[in-house]
Amino acid sequence: MTIVLATTNRKKIEEITRMFAGFNVRFLPLDSFPDCPEIIEDGKTFRANAVKKAVSISKITGHPAIADDSGLEVRALGGAPGIFSARYAGEGADDEKNVRKLLREMKGLEDRDREARFVCCMAFAGPDGSCKTFTGYISGMIGRRRKGFNGFGYDPVFYPAGHDRTFAEMSDSEKDSLSHRGKAMKKLYAYLRKIL
């Protein structure tokens, strides 16, 4: 089966491909379809954005598509950055700027007020418009400074519950076994096993 990954984020593509190693699937990144228009993520939830991307890309390419929308929710910030995680510090912001803004916003907060969770909603859509979603969560806390060099996004400041290392200090396989994306992916994997 050929499945289009509705993202141009190289780190996400690597993560998804790694998780499906040995599975009889050929993944095509979105940039394999240069005429594909950009899908605007204007939904109010992670699920709405993932569904919109997956359904749109599947219809355009004629192949099943997987899309995800994921982000960080910090309780003390009312759930921010949430669906704006990738552009928390403004349009075109990179990981470094987003993390800096987050740490600035949380400056002075006690440990008990640094609770956060990562959320990932994955959508699998067919060219007929059908779509299934799979959601994963990982709770933890936000550290006071960056630690580690692996991963991407907010990984250097996120400590999963029960761990004393950030995601960025963990190996790929350690992170995959704990992460929000890993949990959503396991649900998607089980679903694909049933339909293939």
Distance CA 3, CA 124 (A): 9
Do 187 and 120 contact (CB within 8 A), yes or no?
A: no
Do 24 and 50 contact (CB within 8 A), yes or no?
A: no
Candidate list 35, 69, 128, 155, residue with the active-site label: 69
15 three-class SS:
helix
Do 20 and 27 contact (CB within 8 A), yes or no?
A: yes
42 is catalytic: no
**Residue 27 forms beta bridges with which residues?**
3
- Chain-centroid distance of CA 121 in Å reads 7
Active site (catalytic) residues:
69
